[in-house]
Amino acid sequence: MLLQVSKSSWHIYGHHARRSFFQLSKRDKGKWEIITAAGKVSNERSVPKHIQKPPYYYTPQPPGNTNGSPEIKNDEQVNYMRSSGKLAAQILQECGKMAKVGVTTDEIDSYAHERILSLNAYPSPLRYAGFPKSLCTSVNNVACHGIPDDRPLFDGDIINIDVTVYQNGYHGDCSETFLIGDVDERGRFLVNCTRECLNKCIELCGPGVPFKEIGKYIQRYCEEHQLESVSAFIGHGIGSYFHGPPEIYHYDNEVPGKMQAGMTFTIEPILSLGGGEIGILEDGWTAITLDNSRSAQFEHTILITDTGAEILTKEG
C-alpha cells in the first residue's frame, strides 16, 4: 500500500509514552490499548542465497511508481500471479492463527519469514523502500505499516496482518484484521464492516467499470455506517513490481480510467471508528490515527476477467 497526499491532512506525529488505556475519539467508545510509539525492533532476518529476490533487495529504491497505464497480463503472467497470491493467502491465515494473547508481533514476523523462505519465496516487504521486516502488523489505532516489534498482543486488541510474497518473479499481496481475545462490540463492528466493504467493492469490479466506482462505494458505505475511510492510502497495481498503476482510491473521486481484462491490482480499504486523518511515528513507517481511534483493514489482489473479477489471494 502506498501513502499519498489526498483529502486527508497528515502530519509527522510521535510520542514517547508506550502505553495508554485512554482514547480521544468521540465515536470510538470502547476500551483498548493505544499505540503511541514503536517498540523494540529486532535485527533484520537473513535470506538464503538460493531464494529469488526482487531488485530492491540488492539496491535501495524508492516505492514503485503508480502513474501511467496499467499492465495487461498474459496467461503466463496470470498463472504466476495466481501462484503468488495463493501462497500469500496461505501465509496470512497461518499468521492469523498465531495471533493470540501474549504473542509478540515480532514472533509472527519470524514465523512468516521462515515459512515463506521454506516455500522458496521471498517476503516482499523486507527492504522495500527500506522497510525492516517481512510483514506489517498494525494494532488498534495503527492504520497500517506497523513494524513488528516486541509488543505482546493483549486481550481486546485488533491486529491487521499484511502479507506479500514474491514467488517466481511476481508479488501476491493481502491482509486481514484479526480479533485478539474478547474484543468489544465496537471493535467487532469495525472489523466486520471493513471485511464486508472490501467484499462489496470486489463485486463491483469487471471490464469497463471505472476505477472511481470503488472509492465512491467506500464513501457511501462509510456514511451509512458512521465510519471514516483513511484515505491517505491507496490500492495499487501489482505484478513483477510491488506497486504500479492503477491507483485505487478509497474515497469518492473523479480519477479517470476503466478496468480491463488482464489487469491485476489491490483493493485495501482502511476504515476508522473515528477520524480518517493519520500521522507517522518517528520510525518513518507506522501510521496511526490522529484521534487514536481504532481502524481495520482488509485487502485482496484481484484479476479483472472477461466476466468480472477473480480474487487471487483467496486460500484454497
Domains and CATH numbers, the chain: 73-311 (3.90.230.10)
What is the Rg, in whole angstroms, of the alpha carbon atoms belonging to the chain?
A: 18
C-alpha span between 177 and 299 (Å, rounded): 9
The verdict on whether residue 268 carries a ligand-binding annotation is: yes
pLDDT value of position 32: 80
Instruction: Using DSSP, state whether 255 is helix, strand or coil.
Output: coil
C-alpha cell at 137: 502488523
C-alpha span between 231 and 8 (Å, rounded): 6
The verdict on whether residue 223 carries a ligand-binding annotation is: no
Residues of the chain with pLDDT under 50: 2-25
Start-to-end CA span in the chain (Å): 24
- What is the length of the chain? 316
Query: Tens of pLDDT along 27-42?
Result: 676 778 899 888 999 9
The answer to whether residues 195 and 300 touch, using CB atoms and an 8 Å cutoff, is no
Angle, to 10 degrees, between the axis of helix 105-118 and the axis of helix 75-98? 140
Q: What is the pTM of this model?
A: 0.92
Strand 10-12 relative to strand 278-280: parallel, antiparallel, unpaired?
parallel
Strand 270-272 relative to strand 295-297: parallel, antiparallel, unpaired?
antiparallel
The verdict on whether residue 16 carries a ligand-binding annotation is: no
C-alpha cell at 234: 491507496
C-alpha span between 24 and 22 (Å, rounded): 7
The verdict on whether residue 173 carries a ligand-binding annotation is: yes
Instruction: Using DSSP, state whether 167 is helix, strand or coil.
Output: strand
pLDDT value of position 157: 98
Side chain identity at 308, as an amino acid letter? G
C-alpha span between 171 and 105 (Å, rounded): 23
* Host H or E run for residue 87: helix 75-98
Strand 270-272 relative to strand 287-289: parallel, antiparallel, unpaired?
unpaired
C-alpha span between 236 and 2 (Å, rounded): 8
